[in-house]
Amino acid sequence: MKETTTLQIDKKTLEVLKEVKDHPRQTYNEVILKMVEIYKQVKSNNQYNEFLHKIQQMKMRELWDNEEDEEWQNT
């Protein structure tokens, strides 16, 4: 037997949960689990994108912040 609990949510939140159901018989528990999985994927992708961005910033600094470029600009 599964353990269950009662959650208190706003009526507006309940309406949103009803709207995002894939089918009428889908439980709110299933909807919430799906939303959590999507959130975790987005969060993971965002961390990956931030990581790539930081690496790119370092490489761009290396490429653009050098004496040759500065000398060229000052002539």
Query: Considering only CA atoms, which of 34, 56, 53, 33 is closest in space to residue 45?
Result: 53
Per-residue pLDDT at 1 exceeds 70? no
21-71 confidence digits (pLDDT tens): 999 999 999 999 999 999 888 888 778 778 778 778 777 777 777 676 666
By 3-state DSSP, what share of the chain in percent is helix, strand and coil, each rounded to 5?
70, 0, 30
Confidence of residue 73 (pLDDT cuts 50, 70, 90): low
Q: What is the pLDDT of residue 71?
A: 63
